[in-house]
Structure 1
Amino acid sequence: MVRCKLSVTGFGLSAVFYCLSFTPSLLPRPWFLQGVVAGLTGAIGYAVGTALGALVRMRWWPSRRVERIAWHLLFALLPVLIVAFLWLGTRWQRALRVRLGMEPQQEYDALRTVGISLLTFGALLLLARLLRLAAHGIARLLGQYVPESAAYCAGFLVVTMLTYGAFDNLLVQNLYATADRSAAITDSGTGRGVVRPGIVLRSGGPGSLVDWDSLGRQGRNFVAKAPSTEQLSAFSGRPATEPIRLYAGLAAADDEKSRAAIVVREMDRTGAFDRAVVAVFTPTGTGWVDNNVTSSLEYMYDGDTALVSMQYSYLPSWISFWVDRDKVTDASAALITAVHDRWAAMPPTSRPKLLIFGESLGTYGTEKTFGSAEKMVEGADGILLEGPTFANPIHQQLTRDREPGSTVWDPRYDALPIEFASRASELRELTGPRPKVVYMQNSSDPVVWWNPNLLWHQPGWLRGERGPDVTPDMHWYPVVTFWQTMVDLIFANKVPLGHGHVYKSGTVDGWAAVAPPPGWTVADTIRLRALIDQ
């Protein structure tokens, strides 16, 4: 059973899928990852082709002569197709790298790509045949007691259930537990150059209600990496104020509401509500907040700011997104609600600007906290969201109900003061009333554009006008584009600024769009971006 001959329909469709896997996607792929994608895609094509062939043979069984001719055609055409697509794939990858400002890959990587793809395909085919052998063995055993059709059905179901159980319980759960333990150990460490602050305006510092050790690795980074007053003054040319940064790690309290309450008490302790700006940051899974985002706001306001955040997980965002999305929702709701309620109780004429920021999974938590676009607009003086996920309900609704003539990757929504930007510099050209909510979404960001629907549905961002950094050579193919874009997620942060999931200093344009300080100009934005990029 393991050594039985290959299916001609399976092999044919596998060859088609294999060749299509070399077509470009949103981001360039390293040679080894392209090999895995090609092998996996080819294996999927083989499975689909084998199933289709079995359905055809239920009504018509081809003669040995027809099957032999089909094999001869495949063996004649396949080498030519593979060589052609390897050559085209190399050109496509080189062009995509140039488009994104990256170094081109080496030509000889194509040979290693083929090797990795064949190993991947062979391993998957062997695994599939072993599972089929197990199903047949169970069927033969049950065939002594039940009809043959029922026995084979039962054998298939038993193997499927055992395989799923092994995958879920032995692999997924163990990997999750291992990742959680590893992340918890990492969280207990401290980044290089990070020291306990010696001022009362930081969590973990003198008089703080939060212990330095309880902040976690990312919390310690958050409170310790604010720019100094000397750096702030050097940029603005004016006397600067020492920024406030407050944070609660997982160890600060047993639940989200208690941690949020501690953050608000820290804000009262440090006089945070007397500042010009109070900003709430929903972090990524590990509790990380991009220091480019936080420091840019502090530079814009000469340090007259109070920035707060709160950890909700040890795990990276991509794991948290799949296994425990409720954590970010609960934590975001707890912190935003606690700060908002305290802020809303102040006289409108004397309270600070309330700003909210979310990136990636943080955008999902922010949207779920407010529940609707109208409430987002009303709930703060400005909200900046970078790289929203496909699961974001408000983002989906705004994109679906966009103004006619606008694109999926840069929608226009005139009913509310909400703005989308596929490039940060677009925000410098806004006219009319200032937006209250800004979505920054690079047109090549797979975090934004990956969706399970890619398996069977052509997305809007690949129809009609394309985003500025989406290659015209990219096309949608069932199953193939789904895997390609999923692989893009792995390297979404490994591309130059303004592409993929890399926003960094582009956040300055976002802050300048929703909440610029008095007298702020485009020249100031350009100057600050240059400083942060250094």
Structure 2
Amino acid sequence: SVAILGFFTLCWRITEMLLDWLSHHLGQRLAWRLAARALAALVVLAGTAVLFDQVILRGIRLAGRTVADRLDHSTPAGVTQPDRAVRSGSPSSGETWDSLGLQGKRFVSGGPDAARIARVLGSPAQDPVRVYAALDGRGLAGIARAVLDEMDRTNAWQRRVISIVTTTGRGNANEWSASALEYLLAGDCCTIATQYSGLPSAITLFTSREQPVAATRVLFEAVQGRLAAMPANERPQLFLAGESLGAYGSNGIFTDVDDMVAHIDGALWLGTPNFTPMHRELTRSRDAGSSAVAPVVDRGRHIRFAGRSAQLSADEAGRPLDAWQSPRIAYLQNETDPVVWWGTRLLYRRPEWLAEHRPATTPMGRMHWFPFVTFWQVCADMPVCRNVPEGFGHKYHASQITPAWAGVLGRDPRADYSAIEQALIEDVTIPPIKVFGI
């Protein structure tokens, strides 16, 4: 807080000095000192804006890409090239192992195979298909073509479900979410993920926020176009998924709720950022009596918000929701996730989630809003929001994700999925996060 205050004070002092110096020199040439002061202010502010955009942000982007390129040419410890043909990056794939980048290598080498799924479920299973395409010098259209080629090669169109995952920043996909869907479907699915940026999420957020939306739209339209050409009774179901900036990206391709419900068979989004227009609109239009933390929309007919698995079937007061009709869409959001609650309006306006009465035993219940202060308090949580136990902050647990996917697939989210949850805990190693969780 002291550092931030010092930074703003310094910025103001420098701006004030520039205004004084410029207005003094202009005042010697202009008859009206007020006009000189106004012109000085305009020149200084315009110069500052150009400096910030063309020098500071460009430098941040360049530094971010340099670090990202170095990481993308490495292979994480314990990660090996897949040998199954149903994985991108395998010897039979058109997408080479080295082209996938660090996050792509993690994605295609992770997840259960048919033997593992069969052991956990106690019934026959298939090898799940995982398709990944990275930038590798291509544009978004080139990435989409590469995905379709991989889907043709792996015969993905014959699977029961196709899931498009919009990744975060440099291409990370939530492994628990992808694996949970594969277990629940006994491997009869194809999960797609792509890299749309060479920058970490925190930098992408401030420099090219629309890139996740554009990348999702291009890929979604390409896949949807191929599905539309198939006989209706042979089409796989189409699902969307994403975490934080990925959730923002895949929400952004729809104009409104009706558009979303009309074009997908279901979705699961984790830790959707507060600045996502669809998320904000759904929260605003929630049923009377429900909270901004766990909003109920149209009695849960299509869309459900949950922090705990019990909220997939009932509201916060325990009242049962109406029957969950297809298409089913779920938003998981932890009460302690700063990504969900952060926004610039915190600077000057008390948010609904702090105006509501929350139990005093919860972190949110112990918070108080103060102008300017609360904004920076939540900002300070952002870099460490993954350094917490699962189920808190920006870290979603198998026990939350598995029932949510089950509900989206049309199953009872209250059923016993402990065998799958335990398998996920054993299978998935979450890499340490040392930068912004989004």
**TM-score, with structure 2 as normaliser:** 0.87
Residue pairs, 1:33-112, within 5 angstroms: 37-40=1-4, 43=5
Please state how far the C-alpha of 1:128 moved relative to its aligned partner: 4.0
For the 8 Å contact 2:177–2:402, the answer to whether it is kept is: yes
Could you tell me which residue of structure 2 aligns to residue 373 of structure 1? 257
Which residue, out of 196, 199, 205, partners 2:84?
199
| Cα RMSD (Å) | 2.5
Could you tell me which residue of structure 1 aligns to residue 429 of structure 2? none
Residue pairs, 1:180-329, within 5 angstroms: 180-251=65-136, 254-329=138-213
Instruction: Report % sequence identity.
Output: 35
Alignment CA distance shift 1:131-1:418 (3 Å): closer
- Secondary structure of the 2:218 match is helix
For the 8 Å contact 2:333–2:340, the answer to whether it is kept is: yes
Q: Distance in 1 between matches of 2:127 and 2:260?
A: 30
Could you tell me which residue of structure 1 aligns to residue 418 of structure 2? 526
Could you tell me which residue of structure 1 aligns to residue 404 of structure 2? 510
Alignment CA distance shift 1:126-1:346 (3 Å): closer
For the 8 Å contact 1:293–1:504, the answer to whether it is kept is: no
- Secondary structure of the 2:102 match is helix
The residue identity in structure 2 corresponding to 1:485 is V
- Secondary structure of the 1:349 match is helix
For the 8 Å contact 1:376–1:437, the answer to whether it is kept is: no
Please state how far the C-alpha of 1:513 moved relative to its aligned partner: 1.2
Please state how far the C-alpha of 1:431 moved relative to its aligned partner: 5.1
Please state how far the C-alpha of 1:186 moved relative to its aligned partner: 1.3
Please state how far the C-alpha of 1:248 moved relative to its aligned partner: 1.0
Q: Distance in 1 between matches of 2:273 and 2:209?
A: 12
Matched, 1:344 2:250: no
Please state how far the C-alpha of 1:289 moved relative to its aligned partner: 0.5
Could you tell me which residue of structure 2 aligns to residue 359 of structure 1? 243
The residue identity in structure 1 corresponding to 2:407 is A
Could you tell me which residue of structure 1 aligns to residue 382 of structure 2? 489
| Deviations 1:338-393 (CA, angstroms, capped at 9, x unpaired) | 22232333334333332211211112221222322122222222111111122322
Larger radius of gyration: 1
For the 8 Å contact 2:61–2:199, the answer to whether it is kept is: no
Could you tell me which residue of structure 1 aligns to residue 367 of structure 2? 474
Q: Distance in 2 between matches of 1:386 and 1:215?
A: 24
Q: Distance in 1 between matches of 2:72 and 2:186?
A: 31
Q: Number of paired residues?
A: 415
Which residue, out of 427, 440, 463, partners 2:312?
427
Matched, 1:135 2:27: no
Alignment CA distance shift 1:167-1:325 (3 Å): closer
Which residue, out of 459, 462, 485, partners 2:354?
462
| Deviations 1:410-447 (CA, angstroms, capped at 9, x unpaired) | 11111751111132342255654225111111122221
Matched, 1:444 2:329: no
Which residue, out of 474, 478, 501, partners 2:394?
501
- Secondary structure of the 1:308 match is strand
Q: Distance in 1 between matches of 2:144 and 2:11?
A: 49
For the 8 Å contact 2:335–2:364, the answer to whether it is kept is: no
**TM-score, with structure 1 as normaliser:** 0.72
The residue identity in structure 2 corresponding to 1:315 is L
Alignment CA distance shift 1:154-1:432 (3 Å): closer
The residue identity in structure 2 corresponding to 1:511 is W
Q: Distance in 2 between matches of 1:413 and 1:131?
A: 48
Q: Distance in 2 between matches of 1:212 and 1:167?
A: 38
Q: Which has the higher helix share?
A: 1
Q: Distance in 1 between matches of 2:43 and 2:235?
A: 64
Deviates more, 1:149-158 or 1:358-367: 149-158
Q: Distance in 2 between matches of 1:240 and 1:285?
A: 33
Could you tell me which residue of structure 1 aligns to residue 430 of structure 2? none
Q: Distance in 2 between matches of 1:403 and 1:124?
A: 41
Could you tell me which residue of structure 1 aligns to residue 431 of structure 2? none
